[in-house]
């Protein structure tokens, strides 16, 4: 690796350039109904997948390991 490549990793952009670039951007942050619904549905599906995988993995155990101290579902 050349010294030019290693220098490019350590460079920093001045704060003034960052602020100027931010003002030029016409976009704004927002979440609409569809985005919030997708996040909620994704969370529910994700919880279901991991819960089901945990229940299947725990099926053969005798109360040791991951199940110890947790309520029965």
pLDDT, tens only, 2-48:
666 667 778 888 888 777 655 566 667 789 999 999 999 999 999 99
Query: And the tokens for 13?
Result: 């952009």
Q: Are 61 and 67 in contact (CB under 8 A)?
A: yes
Please check the confidence at residue 50 and state whether its pLDDT lies above 60: yes
Please check the confidence at residue 73 and state whether its pLDDT lies above 70: no
Note whether residue 16 is domain-resident: no
Note whether residue 41 is domain-resident: yes
Look at residue 36 in the predicted model and tell me its pLDDT: 95
Total domains present in the chain: 1
Note whether residue 55 is domain-resident: yes
Mean pLDDT, residues 55-59: 82
SS3 per-residue string spanning the chain: CCHHHHHHHHCCCCHHHHHHHHHHCCCCCCCCHHHHHHHHHHHHHHHHHHHHHHHHHHCCCCCCHHHCCCCCC
Q: Which of the pair, 70 or 19, is modelled with greater confidence?
A: 19
The contacts found for 38-47 with CB under 8 angstroms, 24 or more apart, are none
Note whether residue 7 is domain-resident: no
Note whether residue 71 is domain-resident: no
Note whether residue 20 is domain-resident: no
């Amino acid at each position: 690796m050349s010294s030019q490549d290693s220098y490019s990793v350590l460079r920093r952009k001045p704060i003034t350039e960052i602020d100027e670039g931010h003002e030029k951007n016409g976009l704004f942050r927002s979440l609409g109904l569809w985005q919030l619904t997708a996040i909620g549905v994704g969370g529910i599906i994700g919880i279901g997948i991991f819960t089901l995988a945990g229940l299947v993995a725990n099926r053969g155990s005798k109360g040791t390991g991951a199940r110890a101290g947790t309520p029965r579902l």
